[in-house]
Amino acid sequence: MEKNVKLSILIELYGKLLTEKQYIFLNDYYNNDLSLSEIAENEGITRQAARDNIKKGENKLFELEEKLGFMEKTFKQEKDIAIILSELTKIEDKTSDKQIAKILDNVKQKLNCLV
């Protein structure tokens, strides 16, 4: 997965655990596509200070993900749900019993809501 996409997801998951400045800088840099110069100008600091804050925030996000693993667990869960839906579709396609088909359809609808 591309680093920018990964960090954007991590910001969404763990952003509130960062300092306010780190959250603002990371959100501006990765989600609002601002440059280091633009962030520095908005905050009245040097470009290097903006970069340092972003790097510290990135490190904190990676540390949190390493310890808690929410992003990895979420991706695994989505993959597992997709496999289950695929298997349910196979059963549904090969089964002529209307009741089983209805139950399978209900399960598929519930799983789709989780994705």
Indicate which CATH number applies to the domain containing 39.
1.10.10.10
Domain total of the chain: 2
Mean pLDDT over 59-81 rounds to 92
> Residue 44: left if φ>0, alpha if ψ -120 to 50, beta else—which one?
left
Considering the domain architecture, whether residues 62 and 24 belong to the same structural domain is answered as yes
CA dihedral (70, 72, 77, 83) in degrees, to 10, reads: 170
Considering the domain architecture, whether residues 46 and 94 belong to the same structural domain is answered as no
Considering the domain architecture, whether residues 16 and 49 belong to the same structural domain is answered as yes
Considering the domain architecture, whether residues 79 and 52 belong to the same structural domain is answered as no
SS (H, E, C) 37-66: HHHHHHHCCCHHHHHHHHHHHHHHHHHHHH
**What is the rounded average pLDDT for all residues in the chain?**
89
Inter-residue contact 31 to 8 (CB < 8 Å): yes
This model's pTM is above 0.75: no
Mean pLDDT over 10-35 rounds to 96
Mean pLDDT over 64-78 rounds to 91
Considering the domain architecture, whether residues 49 and 96 belong to the same structural domain is answered as no
Mean pLDDT over 91-112 rounds to 74
Considering the domain architecture, whether residues 102 and 49 belong to the same structural domain is answered as no
Considering the domain architecture, whether residues 48 and 98 belong to the same structural domain is answered as no
Domain that holds residue 63: 3-68
Considering the domain architecture, whether residues 24 and 45 belong to the same structural domain is answered as yes
Confidence of residue 94 (pLDDT cuts 50, 70, 90): low
| Residue 18: Cβ-neighbour burial (10 angstroms; 0-12, 13-18, 19+) | buried
Q: Does position 88 have pLDDT exceeding 70, yes or no?
A: yes
pLDDT attached to residue 10: 96
Q: How far is CA 28 from CA 14, 19, 60, in A?
A: 15, 14, 17
Considering the domain architecture, whether residues 19 and 44 belong to the same structural domain is answered as yes
Q: Does position 95 have pLDDT exceeding 70, yes or no?
A: no
pLDDT attached to residue 25: 97
Q: Reduced to 3 DSSP states, what percent helix, strand and coil does the chain have, rounded to the nearest 5?
A: 85, 0, 15
Considering the domain architecture, whether residues 41 and 82 belong to the same structural domain is answered as no
pLDDT attached to residue 81: 85
